[in-house]
C-alpha cells in the first residue's frame, strides 16, 4: 500500500496552496541552487552506493559495534531508520551529539570488549560535539588497533577540502564526501544516512526505492501526500494554529519524530515565523500531554503517523479467575487494542477542535521509512517557501556557538 494522508477535525481550504506547492517544488533547483541535490534520491547517492555497500559488508564481517559520530543533520536520519527497524547483527552507538561527560564515559564503557568500527560525519568539521568526540574516540581506538586496522575501521564523511578530508588522506581512511548540494538535514538519501543504515544490516535498496517512489508520486500525482501536508499545515498556520505535534502510537518512531522536529524547526523557525514542531509518543504521552491537547488552547495541529500492520502479535489471554476487570480484552490482539486507542484519540482530538492529519503506512520497513523521509523533506522545502522563509539555512544556530566559542577560547 502506498502511504496516504487523511484529515479530520477543523480544516481550511488548501486547493490553491497545493497548486502553489507544485510550482515551488519545481522551482527549487533554480531558486536554491547548491542545496537541492537531495531532490533526486538516485543522484544524491550517485557514485557512492557501491562503496557504501562494500564498506558496510566489510564492517559487518570484522565488527560487532558501529560508532556513528555526528550531530543534527549528520546523524538524525540514520538514527530514525535504525531505531524504527532495529539494527541487525551490529550494535550502533551514537556519539558526537552531546557534551555530557557522563554520556561520553558511558559510550566508552559500551565499547569495552567490542570489535569497533566508526563513521565520523561532520559537514565542515567545525562543530564542537563531533569534533571533540572524534578526538577522544580516535585516541581510544588507536590504543586498540594498529594503523592498518584503523584505516579499514574508520570512515570519514565531510566536505571535500575540509580538515576532515585532509585527515582521511593523512591516515589512509576511506573518505565518503558530504554531499555538497544538500544542507545537513536533507541528507537522508546520501552517504550520511546510507552508510550507518547499511552497516546496521538494513536494506538500503528498499529504503531508496521508498524515497524514489515518493519522489515519482510528487512529480506525477496531483494529490500527493507531500503537497497535501505542506498545504494543510500552512493553511491552518495562517488561521492561527502555531504549534504542530507529530505523534505516533509506535514508540519506535521517537527518533523519526526527532528528525522531523529538526527538519521543520531549523527550516522554518526564522524571521519571527514558523509553526513550533513538537512530538509525542502515544499512548504513554496521552497520560501526560493528552489533557493539554484535548482541552488546552486551540492552537495545535496534530499529525499522526499510523501503521496498518505493526508486525506484532500478542493476544490477551483469558483469565476469568483473576476478576481483574479486563475480561473485555479476552482474546484481543494488542495490534487491535493499539489501533482502537489510535482511532479513539483521533476522534476525540479532532472533535475537540484539533485539526488532525493522519499519515498511514502499511508496515514499518525500509520502504516505508524511505517514503516518509522523502515526503517530509519535500513537504518541508515547499512549506518553508509558503511561509516566506529560506528552508535551507540555519543562521540562528550560530548565535549560541559564538558565545560558547568565546568562553572556550576558540
Residue placing its CB nearer to ligand PA5 in the complex, 164 or 301: 164
Residue placing its CB nearer to ligand PA5 in the complex, 263 or 293: 263
Q: Is 310 exposed, middle or buried (0-12, 13-18, 19+ CB in 10 A)?
A: middle
For residues 365 and 307, the answer to whether their CB atoms sit within 8 Å is: no
Q: What's phi and psi for 291, nearest 5 deg?
A: -60, -45
| CA pair distance 176, 168, nearest whole angstrom | 10
| CA pair distance 44, 38, nearest whole angstrom | 5
Binding site for ligand PA5 (CB under 6 A): 71-74, 122-124, 127, 130, 183-185, 266, 394
Catalytic residue among 148, 170, 287, 395: 287
For residues 210 and 367, the answer to whether their CB atoms sit within 8 Å is: yes
**Measured from the CB of residue 264, what is the shortest distance to ligand PA5 in angstroms?**
12
Greatest CA separation for the chain: 71
CA distances for 284 relative to 4, 20, 244, 249, angstroms: 25, 38, 18, 9
* Nearest 10 degrees: Cα torsion 216, 195, 373, 378: -60
Catalytic residue among 57, 273, 401, 410: 401
Residue placing its CB nearer to ligand PA5 in the complex, 122 or 245: 122
**What spatial distance separates the first Cα and last Cα of the chain, rounded to whole Å?**
52
Cell of 255: 527518533
Residue placing its CB nearer to ligand PA5 in the complex, 130 or 237: 130
Q: Is 349 a catalytic residue?
A: no
For residues 85 and 363, the answer to whether their CB atoms sit within 8 Å is: no
**Measured from the CB of residue 270, what is the shortest distance to ligand PA5 in angstroms?**
13
**Measured from the CB of residue 321, what is the shortest distance to ligand PA5 in angstroms?**
56
| CA pair distance 207, 51, nearest whole angstrom | 17
Residue placing its CB nearer to ligand PA5 in the complex, 130 or 210: 130
**Measured from the CB of residue 247, what is the shortest distance to ligand PA5 in angstroms?**
23
**Measured from the CB of residue 164, what is the shortest distance to ligand PA5 in angstroms?**
10
What 8-state DSSP symbol labels residue 274? -
**Measured from the CB of residue 47, what is the shortest distance to ligand PA5 in angstroms?**
20
Question: Hey, how many other C-beta atoms are within 10 angstroms of the C-beta on 92?
Answer: 20
Cell of 75: 546523524
Helix (H, G, I), strand (E, B) or coil at 300: strand
Catalytic residue among 18, 129, 250, 266: 266
Instruction: Select the residue whose beta carbon is closest to ligand PA5 and give its number.
Output: 184
| CA pair distance 357, 221, nearest whole angstrom | 19
Residue placing its CB nearer to ligand PA5 in the complex, 163 or 171: 163
**Measured from the CB of residue 184, what is the shortest distance to ligand PA5 in angstroms?**
2
Residue placing its CB nearer to ligand PA5 in the complex, 355 or 391: 391
Q: Is 287 a catalytic residue?
A: yes
Which pairing describes strands 243-248 and 276-281: parallel, antiparallel, or unpaired? parallel
Active site residues: 266, 287, 401
Amino acid at each position: 500500500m502506498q502511504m496516504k494522508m487523511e484529515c479530520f477535525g477543523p480544516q481550511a481550504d488548501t486547493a490553491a496552496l497545493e497548486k502553489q506547492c507544485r510550482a515551488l517544488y519545481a522551482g527549487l533547483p533554480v531558486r536554491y541552487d547548491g542545496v537541492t541535490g537531495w531532490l533526486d534520491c538516485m543522484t544524491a547517492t550517485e557514485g557512492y552506493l557501491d562503496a557504501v555497500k562494500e564498506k558496510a559488508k566489510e564492517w559487518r564481517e570484522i565488527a560487532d559495534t558501529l560508532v556513528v559520530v555526528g550531530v543534527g543533520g549528520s546523524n538524525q536520519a540514520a538514527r530514525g531508520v535504525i531505531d524504527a527497524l532495529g539494527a541487525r547483527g551490529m550494535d550502533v552507538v551514537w556519539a558526537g551529539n552531546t557534551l555530557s561527560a557522563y554520556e561520553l564515559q558511558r559510550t566508552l564503557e559500551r565499547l569495552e570488549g567490542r570489535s569497533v568500527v566508526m563513521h565520523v560525519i561532520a559537514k565542515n568539521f567545525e562543530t564542537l560535539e563531533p569534533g571533540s568526540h572524534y578526538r577522544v574516540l580516535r585516541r581510544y581506538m588507536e590504543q586498540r588497533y594498529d594503523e592498518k586496522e584503523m584505516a579499514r575501521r574508520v570512515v570519514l564523511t565531510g566536505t571535500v577540502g575540509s580538515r576532515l578530508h585532509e585527515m582521511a588522506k593523512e591516515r589512509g581512511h576511506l573518505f565518503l564526501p558530504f554531499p555538497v548540494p544538500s544542507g545537513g538535514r536533507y541528507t537522508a538519501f546520501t552517504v550520511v544516512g546510507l552508510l550507518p543504515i547499511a552497516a546496521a544490516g538494513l536494506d538500503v535498496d528498499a529504503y531508496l526505492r521508498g524515497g524514489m517512489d515518493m519522489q515519482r508520486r510528487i512529480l506525477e500525482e496531483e494529490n500527493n501526500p507531500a503537497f497535501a501536508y505542506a498545504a494543510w499545515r500552512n493553511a491552518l498556520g495562517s488561521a492561527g494554529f502555531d504549534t504542530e505535534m507529530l505523534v505516533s502510537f509506535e514508540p519506535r518512531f521517537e527518533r523519526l519524530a526527532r528528525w522531523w522536529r529538526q527538519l521543520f524547526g531549523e527550516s522554518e523557525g526564522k524571521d519571527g515565523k514558523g509553526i513550533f514542531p513538537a512530538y509525542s509518543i502515544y499512548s504513554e504521552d496521552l497520560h501526560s500531554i493528552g489533557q493539554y491537547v484535548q482541552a488546552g488552547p486551540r492552537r495545535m495541529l496534530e499529525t499522526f503517523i499510523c501503521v496498518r500492520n505493526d508486525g506484532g502479535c500478542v493476544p490477551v489471554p483469558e483469565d476469568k479467575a483473576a476478576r481483574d476487570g479486563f475480561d473485555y480484552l479476552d482474546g484481543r490482539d494488542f495490534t487491535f487494542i493499539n489501533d482502537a486507542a489510535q482511532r479513539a484519540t483521533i476522534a476525540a482530538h479532532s472533535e475537540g477542535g484539533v485539526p488532525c492529519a493522519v499519515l498511514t503506512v502499511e508496515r514499518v520497513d525500509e520502504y516505508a521509512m524511505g517514503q516518509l523521509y522523502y515526503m517530509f523533506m519535500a513537504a518541508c522545502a515547499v512549506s518553508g517557501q509558503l511561509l516566506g522563509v529560506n528552508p535551507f539555512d540555519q543562521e540562528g544556530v550560530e548565535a549560541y556557538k559564538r558565545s560558547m566559542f568565546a568562553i572556550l577560547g576558540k
